């Protein structure tokens, strides 16, 4: 069976997807109105990466999982209250601005430093996981940059599945155009896997796992290194919400066959 | 003075992506009063280059060979790097695709520049290049410029009408890129389609049909009619040649092992953790959230919805017509009319 992996998951917080977001201008560049007050959630695709990492670690004895997150310390602590119960991991927090307008280069640089600081890291066993795109910047760049800076040249994005083979190699399914997957065979770690949704449901909360995780999370948060994450010289000319409020025609009490006729006419138009 | 390069892959020629990119490059070059060039990667690039023969591109570069036939980070990246170094372009436009987006950020970083992906428009104002893209999963749009060069921009597909360039034979300057063994650790095995399901995703379809979780909820008779829902949806997709989108809640039900809609996978999902497809029309049924009506529909032009809630806050203001009706009944009738 394959050697044990060191799985590093990069993932941070984003505003809860159900929140209404409004951009504002600040001296430090664009930001969200009441950003620090907005409820936060683990970035959805990064969350899938974490669940897949925990699942893979269970299958390959001796494997370890780290979650490396950049964000405001207080918000990371809040986030951990829910995430810590989902999977077993060691937490590596980095204090910095996790906003969507911030530079992915700055963010990647901070994450690389944090990863390189993990004691006992053996690059030959590293699988770098994360979401293929964030729900904030949504550029699909940070993980790629982190991987390249760490010298990992087998990178897969939009991953829905990894299957480890007996010899330590693995196959990966990546989402590509045309509603299908590209299947690749990689010789083994190290590799970068930017996850899409994968195939696993969200794990149920496990308070025991949560308690074990929290024992190391709190001291890690206290020691969190600060990182300068900024705009990287980008000049924002405008940031605006789409003004696409439509004048919706509400059709009530119309028989189903009339609605159907109207819909068919519209489709064929 | 900027110098523009259109960097593409040979397999993008057949999907209009290359023509879209060339259209953006030609327009930007005209605005800036500069020249533009083309660089292509693929197993064979000559044919793709010829399709842009009449585009006005000043020069063509290529990296070709078996090693560059498939999308692979470890081979696409050195190929693109060699092309950019040869061209010395300052603004690089890349038609966005899964293959391109996999390498753009690292490519720019290796050359001391920066990359931005999912760019929806590129313009020039007073000699300055400006780009537009969405943030927070299509919730807000920003226009920005950046000082670093090269500036690599991944263009989001479907944002420009591609010009019909005349094809002609062009001279391509081929570059030789030798890959070390370390770059061949990954072998692309091929494409895999979701097993045992109908072809439900049609990116080029005019109509996006979005199915929500309501299809698998108890109906007026207190029963769940998943089988009936499957039939109605599949019938409609076949007859209307529509593409199928889904809400997260419905897809998650499938992933959790519930016997619901067998053909539904995460690939169908639209919205926050799904796609934001571009179709001219969208019909949402049994959807009750922000995801299908806002994020998943951002780039759908004409929108209609069928659901039981006249006060659905997300449908109101986001759809052109909201039919307050039972989607089972309506779609059954729609299918009957389409069959006639």
* Nearest Cα residue to A240 out of B145, B275, B133: B133
Of B184, B217, B238, at which residue does a domain stop?
A: B184
Q: Does A190 touch chain B (CB under 8 A)?
A: no
pLDDT at A2: 55
For an interface test with B, the pick among A155, A199, A268 (most B C-beta atoms closer than 10 Å) comes out as A155
Contact B198, B273 (CB under 8 A): no
pLDDT along chain B (340 residues), means of 10: 97 90 98 97 97 97 98 98 98 97 98 97 96 92 98 94 96 98 97 74 89 87 89 93 86 63 83 80 84 71 90 82 94 95
Q: Are residues B30 and B174 in the same domain?
A: yes
Query: What is the Cα Rg of chain B in Å?
Result: 23
Predicted local distance difference test score (pLDDT) of residue A211 = 95
**Is the CB of residue A136 less than 8 Å away from at least one CB of chain B?**
yes
Q: Is residue B191 part of a domain?
A: no
- Contact status, residue B243 vs residue B198, Cβ threshold 8 Å: no
Tell me, what CATH number does B12's domain have? 3.40.50.620
Question: What is the enclosing helix (H) or strand (E) of A15?
Answer: strand A13-15
Gap from B106 CA to chain A (nearest CA, Å): 5
If asked whether residues B51 and B167 sit together in one domain, one would say: yes
Weakly modelled stretches of chain A, pLDDT under 70: 1-2, 244
Rounded to 5, what percent of chain A is helix, strand, coil?
A: 30, 30, 40
User: Any chain B CB within 8 A of the CB of A37?
Assistant: no
Neighbours of A74 (CB within 10 A): 11
Evaluate whether residue B71 is within a structural domain.
yes
Q: Do A138 and B99 touch (CB under 8 A)?
A: no
Domain count, chain B: 2
| CA dist A170 → A1, A17, A162, A164, B97 (Å) | 11, 33, 7, 4, 24
Note whether residue B194 is domain-resident: no
The architecture of the domain spanning A6-226 is 3-Layer(aba) Sandwich (3.40)
Answer whether A203 touches B (CB < 8 Å): no
Residues 6+ apart with CB under 8 A from B88: B3
Q: At what angle do helices A104-116 and A142-149 cross, to 10 degrees?
A: 40
Q: B-chain residues within 8 Å CB-CB of A178?
A: 191, 201, 203
**Domain residue limits at B247:** 207-339
Least CB–CB distance from B189: residue in A104, A183, A257: A183
Nearest to B329 among A140, A250, A256 (CB): A256
Whether residues B161 and B211 fall in one domain: no
Q: Is B238 domain-assigned? A: yes
Tell me if B334 and A260 make a contact (CB, 8 A cut-off).
yes
Task: Please indicate, yes or no, whether residues B45 and B160 belong to a single structural domain of this protein.
Answer: yes
Cα separation, A164 vs A18, whole angstroms: 36
CB contact under 8 A, B322 and A249: yes
The ipTM assigned to this model is: 0.94
Does B114 share its domain with B20? Answer: yes
Instruction: State both tokens at B195.
Output: 């097993």
**pTM assigned to the model:** 0.92
Q: Does B97 touch chain A (CB under 8 A)?
A: yes
Cβ contact B99–A176 (<8 Å):
yes
The predicted pLDDT at position A18 comes to 76
Question: Is A260 in CB contact (< 8 Å) with chain B?
Answer: yes
The domains of chain A are located at 6-226
Same domain, B27 and B148: yes
Phi, psi dihedral angles at B43 (to 5 degrees):
-65, -45
Tens-place pLDDT, residues A196-226: 989 888 899 999 999 999 999 999 999 999 9
Output the pLDDT for position B247. 82
pLDDT in tens, A252-262: 999 999 999 99
Alpha carbon of B200: minimum distance to chain A alpha carbons (Å): 8
B323–A181 CB contact, under 8 Å: no
Spatial distance between the Cα atoms of B110 and A267, rounded to a whole number of angstroms: 48
Contact B287, B247 (CB under 8 A): yes
How far does the CA of residue A216 sit from the closest CA of chain B (Å)? 30
**Is position B174 within any domain?**
yes
Interchain pair A155, B73: CB under 8 A: yes
Q: Could you tell me if residue B190 is inside a domain?
A: no
- A250 and chain B in contact, CB less than 8 A: yes
Please indicate if any CB of chain A lies within 8 Å of the CB of B220: no
Type and span of the H or E element at A242: none
Could you tell me if B220 and B159 lie in one domain? no
- Tell me how crowded residue A187 is: count the other CB atoms within 10 A of its CB: 15
CATH number of the structural domain spanning residue B305: 3.40.50.1220
Nearest CB partner across the interface for B324, out of A155, A171, A251: A251
Q: Do residues B148 and B103 share a domain?
A: yes
Tell me whether residue B119 is in a domain: yes
CB A157 to CB B101 under 8 A? yes
DSSP letter assigned to residue A35? T
Select the residue of A173, A239, A267 nearest B142 (Cβ to Cβ): A239
> What's the length of chain B?
340
- Give the pLDDT of residue B256: 55
One domain for residues B237 and B271 = yes
Is the separation of the CB atoms in A136 and B135 below 8 Å? Answer: yes
pLDDT at A31: 97
Residue A140 falls in which region: left (phi positive, over 0), alpha (psi -120 to 50) or beta: left
SS (H, E, C) chain B: CCCEEEEEEHHHHHHCHHHHHHHHHHHHHHHHCCCEEEEEEECCCHHHHHCCCCCCCCEEEEEECHHHCCCCHHHHHHHHHHHHHHHCCCEEEEECCHHHHCCHHHHHHHCCCEEEEEEEEEEEECCEEEEEEEECCCCEEEEEECCCCCEEEEECCCCCCCCCCCCCCCCEEECCCCCCHHHHCEEEEEEECCCCCCCCCCCCCCEEEEECHHHHCECCCCCECHHHHHHHHHHHHHHHCCEEEECHHHHHHHHCCCCCCCCCCHHHEECCCCECCCCCEEEEECCCCHHHHHHCCCCCCEEEEEECCCCCCCCCCCCCEEEECCHHHHHHHHHHHHHC
Q: How many CB atoms lie within 10 A of CB B195?
A: 6
């Amino acid at each position: 069976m394959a050697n044990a992996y060191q799985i590093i998951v990069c993932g941070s917080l984003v505003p809860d997807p159900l929140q209404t977001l409004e951009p504002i201008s600040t001296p430090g560049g664009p930001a969200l109105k009441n950003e620090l007050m907005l409820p936060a959630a683990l970035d959805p695709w990064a969350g899938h990466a974490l669940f897949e990492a925990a699942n893979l670690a269970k299958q390959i004895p001796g494997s370890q999982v780290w979650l490396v997150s950049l964000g405001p310390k207080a918000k990371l602590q809040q986030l951990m209250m829910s995430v810590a119960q989902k999977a077993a991991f060691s937490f590596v927090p980095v204090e910095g601005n996790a906003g969507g307008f911030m530079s992915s280069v700055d963010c990647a640089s901070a994450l690389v430093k944090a990863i390189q600081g993990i004691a006992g890291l053996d690059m030959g066993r590293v699988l770098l996981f994360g979401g293929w795109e964030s729900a904030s910047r949504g550029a699909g760049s940070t993980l790629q940059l982190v991987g390249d800076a760490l010298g990992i040249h087998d990178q897969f994005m939009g991953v829905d599945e990894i299957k480890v083979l007996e010899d330590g190699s693995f196959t990966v399914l990546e989402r590509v155009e045309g509603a299908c997957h590209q299947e690749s065979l990689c010789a083994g770690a190290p590799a970068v896997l930017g996850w899409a949704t994968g195939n696993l449901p969200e794990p149920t909360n496990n308070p025991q796992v949560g308690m074990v995780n929290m024992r190391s999370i709190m001291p890690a948060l206290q020691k969190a290194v600060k990182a300068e994450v900024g705009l990287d010289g980008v000049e924002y000319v405008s940031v605006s919400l789409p003004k696409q409020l439509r004048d919706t025609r509400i059709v009530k009490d119309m028989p189903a066959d009339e609605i159907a006729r109207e819909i068919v006419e519209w489709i064929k138009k | 003075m900027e110098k523009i390069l259109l960097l593409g892959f040979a397999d993008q020629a057949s999907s209009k992506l290359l023509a879209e990119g060339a259209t953006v490059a030609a327009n930007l070059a005209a605005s800036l009063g500069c020249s533009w060039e083309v660089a292509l990667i693929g197993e064979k690039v000559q044919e793709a280059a010829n399709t842009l023969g009449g585009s006005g591109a000043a020069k063509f570069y290529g990296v070709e060979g078996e090693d560059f036939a498939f999308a692979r980070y470890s081979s696409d990246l050195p190929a693109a790097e060699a092309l950019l170094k040869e061209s010395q372009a300052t603004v690089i436009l890349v038609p966005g695709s899964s293959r391109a987006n996999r390498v753009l950020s690292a490519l720019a970083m290796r050359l001391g520049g920066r990359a931005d992906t999912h760019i929806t428009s590129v313009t020039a104002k007073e000699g300055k290049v400006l780009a537009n893209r969405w943030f927070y999963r299509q919730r807000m749009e920003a226009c920005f410029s950046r000082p670093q060069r090269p500036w690599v921009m991944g263009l989001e597909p479907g944002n420009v009408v591609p010009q019909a360039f005349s094809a002609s034979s062009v001279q391509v300057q081929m570059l030789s890129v030798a890959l070390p063994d370390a770059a061949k650790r990954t072998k692309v095995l091929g494409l895999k389609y979701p097993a045992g399901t109908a072809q439900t995703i049609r990116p080029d379809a005019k109509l996006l049909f979005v199915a929500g979780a309501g299809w698998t909820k108890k109906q007026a008779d207190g029963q769940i009619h998943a089988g009936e829902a499957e039939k109605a949806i599949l019938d409609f997709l076949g007859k209307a040649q529509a593409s199928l989108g889904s809400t997260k809640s419905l897809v998650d039900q499938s992933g959790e092992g519930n016997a619901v809609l067998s053909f539904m996978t995460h690939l169908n999902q639209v919205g926050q953790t799904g796609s934001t497809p571009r179709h001219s029309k969208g019909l949402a049924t049994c959807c009750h959230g922000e995801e299908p009506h806002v994020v998943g529909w951002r780039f759908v032009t004409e929108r209609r919805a069928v659901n039981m809630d006249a006060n659905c806050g997300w449908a109101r203001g986001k759809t052109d017509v909201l039919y307050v009706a039972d989607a089972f009944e309506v779609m059954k009738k729609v299918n009957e009319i389409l069959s006639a």
